[in-house]
Amino acid sequence: MKVLEVIEAGTIPYAEALDWQRQLAEDRIAGRLPHDVLLLLEHPPVVTLGRNSHVGNLLEPSGIEVFEVERGGDVTFHGPGQLVGYPILDLSAYKRDLHWYLRTLEQALIAALAVLDIPAERNAGFTGVWTRGRKIASIGIHVKQWVTWHGFALNVTTDLAHFDRIVPCGIQGVEMTSVERETVKGKRERLWDESVGAVIAGFENAFGVSVIPSPEGAARQEHASLRT
């Protein structure tokens, strides 16, 4: 069975996480990393522009860090309460098919939301995950030699007002939502932990992988060495 190491990394500044994933992807391509990895983390508030971005979709650019990055997609927001996942997967072991990968990522998130009792679905032509006509998770990926990085952002308890600064994903009139908003009863800490567990389970099912715990110390060490 394919193995997926899940690293719960806590809150990490965007630039640092970007370096980390690029390094993990290079290691995966070169074979130095023998298995796939899923980074789960949060970012301090940041706006990122994908390769398909239109500057006009950044409505209120002041007061927040903005990054232009190599992932697919348009503009999006990351911030506290949003569960960001960066899968570093070697698609050669699955399917050399980015559409399959996008659809399977969506499937993993739909399965995760089902666990949280939120009915979710795809919206044909608009990559991402939607619930009751609102968008709850965004997806934007990058691949080199069939190794992926970048990934998804699931709003758990995100302050949705931040999305007013942008035209999320370049879709005019899109309304963003969160797990918290779609959940009738919601205690914040419980929601976060449940969402993390649900996403990991969603990955296991959608990708047919066996999740291995990350030796936390090793992950921190590795990450610390990148900071220097």
Does the footprint of other proteins cover residue 122 (CB under 8 A)?
no
Q: For this structure, is 116 an active site residue?
A: no
Residue choice 35, 122, 134, 181 for contact with other proteins (CB under 8 A)? 35
Closer to other proteins by CB, 191 or 196: give it: 196
Question: How many residues make contact with other proteins (CB under 8 A)?
Answer: 36
Does the footprint of other proteins cover residue 51 (CB under 8 A)?
yes
CB of 185 to other proteins, least distance (A): 26
For the chain, the distance separating the N- and C-terminal CA atoms, rounded to the nearest angstrom, is 35
Does the footprint of other proteins cover residue 61 (CB under 8 A)?
no
Does the footprint of other proteins cover residue 5 (CB under 8 A)?
yes
CA dihedral over 41, 26, 15, 228, signed as positive or negative: positive
**Vertex 194 angle, CA 213 and 104, to 5°:** 70
Structure tokens at 95: 């399917």
Structure tokens at 63: 């007061």
Question: Which span (7-15, 16-24, 48-56, 174-182) binds other proteins, by CB under 8 A?
Answer: 48-56
Closer to other proteins by CB, 71 or 165: give it: 71
Does the footprint of other proteins cover residue 144 (CB under 8 A)?
yes
Question: Which span (9-17, 69-77, 80-88, 171-179) binds other proteins, by CB under 8 A?
Answer: 69-77
* Footprint of other proteins on 75-104 (CB under 8 A): 96-102
Contacts 24+ apart (CB under 8 A), 117-122: 117/183, 118/179, 118/182, 118/183
Does the footprint of other proteins cover residue 124 (CB under 8 A)?
no
Write down the catalytic residue from 109, 147, 169, 209: 169
Does the footprint of other proteins cover residue 121 (CB under 8 A)?
no
> Which of 184, 178, 82 has the alpha carbon at shortest distance from 131?
178
Structure tokens at 118: 């939120």
Does the footprint of other proteins cover residue 50 (CB under 8 A)?
yes
CB 61 within 8 A of CB 135: no
Query: CA torsion, points 68, 75, 77, 48, in degrees to nearest 10?
Result: 0
Closer to other proteins by CB, 59 or 212: give it: 212
Residue choice 32, 52, 119, 197 for contact with other proteins (CB under 8 A)? 52
Does the footprint of other proteins cover residue 110 (CB under 8 A)?
no
Q: Distances from the Cα of 189 to the Cαs of 40, 134, 150, in angstroms? A: 16, 23, 25
